[in-house]
Amino acid sequence: MAEAFYAACILFPMAVLGWLVVRLVLRGSSQVLLCMECEQCMGRCPLVTRKGPDFPGPRGIMVAAKAGRLQKAAEGGALACTNCGLCEKACPRGLAPYQELEVLRRK
Ligand code: SF4
Ligand code: SF4
């Protein structure tokens, strides 16, 4: 009985984690899994200082995409992103936060 409980304690979180990863991959947002939220992109984004707190910045876009809250972030001002690509150049992992907004824009 105890073994079954311990197995469930391991398998259930793994199943939830696996489902979250599959959901991101199906959405075409697998790059957000690599974002370590280091904020290096924030210093390069011209809109972070220009727009102030209304604009979540590239890190905020990645965090919102990771949490499935991209639509809300877009309504909050994330669509002001100009696709300049400076965040991608600053990212040590070469991630492109602006690409996360492309799906919303196409809609
Ligand atoms: S997108 Fe890149 S630079 Fe920006 S927070 Fe994520 S890992 Fe860091
Ligand atoms: S592509 Fe968008 S988020 Fe990235 S630096 Fe340019 S304006 Fe900022």
- The reply to whether ligand 1 has any atom less than 6 angstroms from the CB of 45 is no
Indicate the number of domains in the chain: 1
The pLDDT value given to residue 79: 93
Residue of 26, 76, 73, 19 whose CA lies nearest to 97: 73
Q: Tell me which amino acid residue 104 is.
A: L
Confirm whether 1 is domain-assigned: no
Kindly give the distance from the C-alpha atom of residue 14 to the centroid of ligand 2, in angstroms, as a whole number: 34
Confirm whether 12 is domain-assigned: no
Confirm whether 92 is domain-assigned: yes
Of all protein residues, the one whose alpha carbon is nearest to atom 3 of ligand 1 is 91
Confirm whether 21 is domain-assigned: no
Q: Cα–chain-centroid distance for residue 34?
A: 9
Confirm whether 25 is domain-assigned: no
The pLDDT value given to residue 104: 80
- Locate the ligand 2 atom nearest the alpha carbon of residue 86 and give its number: 5
Confirm whether 4 is domain-assigned: no
17-28 pLDDT per residue, tens: 898 888 888 887
Domain that holds residue 45: 30-106
To test the pocket of ligand 1, the residue of 40, 44, 86 to mutate (highest count of ligand atoms within 8 Å of its CB) is 40
34-84 pLDDT per residue, tens: 999 999 999 999 999 888 778 999 999 999 999 989 999 998 889 999 999
